[in-house]
Structure 1
């Protein structure tokens, strides 16, 4: 029997009854009301999007947001190091820091050297963010052409892949959700034909452009 993939989700605190939650480690101090916080909401949507494409996936929650969606580079680096030492095959980061950091780059390198797939969200516009901009990271932005089970090969200067950004008006959407859907697709591929095979078959190739008939390939 193929073992269900384990994904290290570096995000807000996940509730104990989160479907697929294997374990949770709080890297930061958690606010007493964190269960109703933006961080908890964000993390729950990321976990759900991952499992939408990989229902059997297990999640290792690594909490870096105490309640609000803000943290320090030291906490992020520690979470990445713990992910590198874990049994997770995929490490997921739906957040970004505006400036490159040697501390963050070193922690990312540890994850990649450990043989993990590291997925991180990247904005559709503007300068690179990190860890998405670090070497070896699978960077993902929202692509309106994609449904939840699709992905695109963009190969843009600041991002490599695209995936479903969610529905308009949803509580959480955009690059964060797109990266989570993509991590789920990777997890499903790990138990199917393999990641390399998956990455040869994008639903769309080239950047998205919006014309009179809606989003199209450029």
Structure 2
């Protein structure tokens, strides 16, 4: 069964079984989730190239993890710390993919995991330890390394992070933007200040947030001369 564990049919079977027994998840049912978790961890092993070579599988597994995290947080509560480490590794590497379907699924998974960490101190501590590096990778993708048409998917994790952990996120983004050459030297002071302003705005709608991230991305890529502030 090894090579078939990450196929969408088996993932759906595991998800549906967990949902069916959600009020009384015994060890044998929980073990189904651990089997998927361990198989993915073994194949991925922190290697971004594996993700790039298996984007269809990555899309399926990101959807699976995202759904379990959102609908069955009690399952995630029982996971060993190694599971949270794997999720963080998946976040850091997966957000760098350039395949639209896979990235959209990964973005949703990341957003769901960030929200979940508010329920679990172990997961929150790990997110805090790795947050700066993740934000650094994310801003680099937004400003330079990822195709611009992926900006919508790249915006969601940053939006969720800012709404869940405003102080952390602001600090991490500020640290990154203190470097005048990060993500690129084309992003001038007004672009950086506008990004920080939208991050700290409590009433920002997601649609408006995406517009600002899009504008920041264009500024980094020298596509626009100035930052256009939107209400």
Which structure has the larger Rg over C-alpha atoms?
2
Higher relative contact order structure (alpha carbons within 8 Å, sequence separation ≥ 6): 1
Normalised by the length of structure 2, the TM-score is 0.30
Bigger helix fraction: 2
Bigger strand fraction: 1
Normalised by the length of structure 1, the TM-score is 0.31
